[in-house]
Structure formats: C-alpha cells, structure tokens
A and B are shown apart, each in its own frame.
Chain A
Amino acid sequence: MRLYPIRNLLFAIASVLVALPLALAPRAALAQAAKAASGEPYRIGVTYPLSGPQGAWGQLLIPSMEIAVQHVNAAGGVNGRPLSLVIEDTKGNPEGAVSAMRKVVQVDRVAAILTIFTNVVSAQMPLADQLKVPLLSPVEAPGLVAKSEWAFAHSPLLSRTLPLVSQRWQRDKVKRLFAFYPNTPIAKVGSPIVKAEADRLGIQYEETLFKLGDTDFRGLITRAKNFNPDAIFIFGHGTPDEGVIMKQTRELGMTTQMYNGCACVTVKSYREAAGKAAEGVIYAGFKYDVAAAKKLIDAYRARLGFDPDYGGLEVYDMVFMIAEGIRKYGYSGDGIRRGLTEIKDFRSIGGGLVSMDKDRQSLVAVGLYQVKDASKPEFVELKE
C-alpha cells in the first residue's frame, strides 16, 4: 500500500516523458508548415459519406486528401497560403448531398468541392450551376459531368479500361465470356459496352445481375458454371460483394480466369472479402505505380496501417488539381473551374499523365494488372 504514491509518481513522470515529445512534435511541424505557408487558408469543401452504408468510402479516401493538403502546405502552400479542408457528411444520398453542399458553400464559403458518387453528384450539379462552384469527383458514369460546366471527373471510364482487358481476351483466345454486374444503374453503363466488345471479338456472351447486400451468390455462379465460360468479368461499385463472388466462384470448383473492369480489387475490404480467390485476377484500372506513389503510400500507411487503394490516388490528385487552379487563376469558383478545364499533362501521384477532355472528364493513364498476392498486397502490371 505504501508503494502506491511512489508508483503513481513514477507513472506520472514516465507519462510526461512519453507525452512531451508527442505534444511538441505537431507544434514543431505546424511551425515549419506555417513558415512554408501562412495566412488565411484556401478552403476546399469535401462532401463525402461519413455515415450510412457508404460511409466507409469517406473514411478511406479523406485521409488521402488530408495527406495531399499536408504535402501542398509543406511545400509552401498555394501562393504562400495554406490549403484546408471543410468536411461535411452527405450520408451518400441526394438529400445529404445538397444539404452538405449548401453548408460548405454558403456557410464556410469554399470555392471548390470534392465529392463522390453518381447519385450525389447528380443532385449537386444544379446547385453547382446556381452557386458557380466547381465539383470534382471520381464518378465513372459516362457523360454525367458533361451535363454541367461546373462538374469535373477524375477517374478511368470503362471505355478506357476495357480495351486493355479485351486485348488479353484476344491473346488468351477467349470464346465464352460470363459477366457479373450489380443490380444498379452501373449495369446499364457496363453491360452494353462489354457486350459490344464481346460481339466485336466474336465471343459468346452471357451475363447476370447480383443483388448488392446479398452474401450467397452460388445460384448465379452455378448459372455461370453451366455456361462453361473461358473468362469471367466482374464490373460493379467495388463493394466487397464482388470479392465474395470471386471466393464463391472458386469454392464451386471453377478455375476460370477472372477479370475486373476497374481497380476495385486494390480496395482493402474487397481483397479481404475475396481472400486468396483474388489472386490471379486480372484488372484494368487507374495507373498505380508504387514507386511514384511512395510518399502517399508511406504517409497513408503510417496513418491507417494499410496502403491506399486506387481511389486514394485519385482524390490525392484532385487536391493538387484544385491547388493548381487556385495558383493560376486565384481562389474563386470561376478561377478554379478554369484551372481544372485547362489540365493537361498533369503528373498523377500514380505515375501517369492526366489531361481534361472537353466534357470535363479526365483522360487518365490506365494499366493492366494481375493480383499476385492479395494479402500484402502485390499487383503486377502486365506489360505485353
């Protein structure tokens, strides 16, 4: 009992010794950043889902944006002033999207917004026209952002990734192809493009829709098995459901080569759902050069404990794109819009070059990859 005061004293001293460097370190970093960039920050609105079924996306991607802001600020900011993010939860639905956008524009006075998801962007575009604030998102719905001169997208469309996959089908002499799509509007986007490509190559094609949120896809996979395909193609929202399909496909004895229409398999939750079944999967997606992205990967890993997926690279780029717009034309909606419109040969953190087309959809470098190890993870670019 008598030892308790001494023990408490030692504990208190040890706590101070441990806490002191931690408490001082951020201040030192801030002081350095302040030296690099000072003054009132340029604010960028972030309207992302932080809750609801899609809330995980906000938690995965916002750290990448925050790291990008740190990197911009550490390098002197934009015209000497720091960047900062104003984050609002959209809950992933149109009502939340509009509410969050009004808040960041009309209360926080941001001049540009980073946002995500087709339904959210669709709801925000009329407001962007009205408020004259540019939206920048990784949506992959073809033609969506062409509807508003204030909407921009930075993502690889299926029309850009599919040719890489179909070259592989030709090389591997695929004769029968079975495709899986979720029962959402993305199927209306993906199915006609893939079917047309299969027809062009003389490949017999069959497809099915799966229900998001289901966990037992064995009936659909048995249907695929009965079709006896040489190749299976999966194209969806990058939800773990697709990983479960991969796993259950292998567990029904199918050894058919699987292809993915996006880089979704780089997403941690997707890989975890697929497990070892993800290994060998070939996918085409956003160029992800690990060496080029090292500074993001290191910072992201230090914060979250795992590597960023392709979406993390896209949103990291977006912060720099907006920063470039501010640097060139000042901190205003119209200035940033002009800067985004003029993006040409922008060096992505993933290693490729990016240009904005006339419909405000970025033309990004894409690559064909194969998953070698789903747990590390290790993705090998297929060059041939």
Chain B
Amino acid sequence: MLAIGLGLAGYYALVAVGFALIFATLRIFHIAHGTVFISAGYLFFVLHRVNGLELFTSGVISVAVAAVLGLAIDKLVYLPVMRRGGGLFSVFIASLGVSLIFEAGFLAYTKGVVSVARTDTLDILSAGSVAVRTLDLGVLALVAVVFGLLYLWLHRTQVGLEVRGLTDNSPLAAVVGVNVDRTRNHIFLLASALAGLAGVLTAYDMGINPDTGTRTLFVAVVAVILGGVRNILLGTIVGSVALGILTAYAGFFFPEWVTFSVFLTMILLILWRPQGLFG
C-alpha cells in the first residue's frame, strides 16, 4: 500500500505544486487547473490511443497544449474579469464555470466511459509478496527531477526570484519593479505544463473520466493546505505524500470513504493549523 500511496503522491505533487504556485503568487483559486489536467489527459488519449501517435510525441504535444490552455484561461477569462473590476471571488466563479464547461464537453465526448491510454500491462518488480510497478518508480523519479528543476528555477533565476517576491508580498513586489505580467505568464505556463504532465501520466496509468481532473485537484488542494503555501516545494511534497498514503490506505480499509477521509483531514488541519505545516 505504501508503494501505491507514493505513486499517487507523484501525481498529486505535480498538480499541487502548480496550483500552489498560482495561488501563492496571484491569490487565484484556480479550479480550472483540474481542467488543464484532464484536457491534457484526453488529448494524450486521442493522440496516442485513438490515432496511434508515438507515446513520447503524444505526451510532449499534450503537455505543451496544456501549458497554452492554462495561459489562455488566464488571458481570456481571468484577466478580462479582473479588468472589469471583478475581484478574486469573481475569478473563482469564472474558473469554476470553465471547469464545468470542459467537464460537460468531455462527458458528451466520452459518454462517461473511462479512457485508458494504453492496452499493454505494466511491468512489475517483485520481491517476496511486494510488487512495485515500474511506472510508479518512473513517476517518482520524474517528480524528483521536476522538483529539483523547480528548486533551481525558483532560487537561481530572475523569474524565480520574482515569483518568490510575489509569494512573500505581492503589492510590494510590483512596487519594486517585478514585471508582474511576465511573471504571471511564466507561472501559468509552468503550472499548467505540470498539470498536463500529471494528466498524461494518469491517462496512461489508471485512465481518466470527465471528473478525474476535479477529483485529483481537490486532493491536490488539500495537499497544498496541508503543506502550506509559504514553502511551495517542501509543502506540496510533504502534503502530497501524506495525501497519497492516506488515500491509498483509505482505498484499502474504507473504499467508500476515500473522499470523506481527504476532506476530514482538511477540516481537522484547518482547525488545528490553518497556515499548514510549513506555512
């Protein structure tokens, strides 16, 4: 179960870190992040499974389209809402609307049938009674590389410095010359690409339904709340691992109560430590 939990944690971490980046810097509760995730998953399914395009190429195209989709949502929905005087709550409602529109579209397209982007069976490594899927090991390695690169990006680049500045004090960062528009574009592109990567991997691994994006996002949000948004990388990793293990064990002991266990954790955490573990 631990191996399953860590595998899930990888997906949660990829979604959570993007959500946390957007929320911590721009204060946008980006529900449509789940839409970006699932759009990449379905595009990957269509390219690779339906049209037989090569695995890696399909994945790269899907991640790239996800990045552009995330940016487009910001440019075409969030920014116009804010320019017309809409506050963050209006943006949240708009984000929810985008999410529901895409979900309805995918439901109409798939008729709610699960879409799995592979027909082959994954290789497993066995040691006694323990069996670990090679894909889980691959995902964990990929997540480690991604977080390593994110660390370098945040701490060794000018844009990373600006992102951290926005996280610490958004109004002040703008006053001292942070190019907010450019940083905002970078954040949406990067966060959406990571969500797209998680969507591609999920479509390849377990398969996706129209609501998989929303469900994954909710767990990722709880992971962010658990970890706290002040230390994005450490917070999301710890939160995602905790939620991955929690959902894996809940799926074993109380399969009907997985969602319940996630949200109970969130409520207890908010009561105990609203700022999160590292917030």
Contacts and interface: CB of A to CB of B under 8 A. Distances in A.
A52 B112 CA distance: 7
A108 B120 CA distance: 48
Given A219-B4, A275-B120, A375-B119, A213 B112 contact: yes
Interface residues of A, number: 39
Contacts of A251: 121-122, 124, 133
Interface string B147-187: 00000000000000000000000000000000000000000
B92 to A, nearest CB: 26
B126 interface: yes
B256 interface: yes
Interface string B29-73: 000000000000000000000000000000000000000000000
Interface of B: 1, 4, 8, 107-108, 111-114, 116, 118-122, 124, 126, 131, 133, 202, 206-209, 211-212, 248-253, 255-256
Given A216-B8, A253-B126, A275-B121, 10 more contacts: A53-B107, A53-B113, A213-B209, A215-B206, A215-B209, A219-B1, A219-B250, A219-B252, A247-B121, A269-B113
Contacts of A219: 1, 4, 248-253, 255
Nearest to B123: A251
B251 A215 contact: no
A55 B250 contact: no
B256 to A, nearest CB: 7
Contacts of B121: 247, 250-251, 275-277
B207 A218 contact: no
Contact of A211 (B108, B111, B120, B255): B255
A184 to B, nearest CB: 13
A183 interface: yes
B189 to A, nearest CB: 28
Nearest to A216: B206
B114 A252 contact: no
Given A219-B252, A275-B119, A276-B119, A241 B114 contact: yes
Contacts of B248: 218-219
A98 B8 CA distance: 43
12 contacts: A53-B107, A53-B111, A215-B114, A215-B202, A215-B206, A215-B209, A219-B252, A219-B253, A240-B113, A247-B121, A251-B133, A269-B113
A190 to B, nearest CB: 18
A250 B122 CA distance: 9
Given A183-B256, A213-B211, A247-B121, A54 B251 contact: no
A192 to B, nearest CB: 20
Interface string A244-283: 1001101111000000000000000100110111000000
Nearest 4 interchain pairs by C-beta: A219-B251, A253-B131, A53-B112, A275-B119
Contacts of B131: 252-253
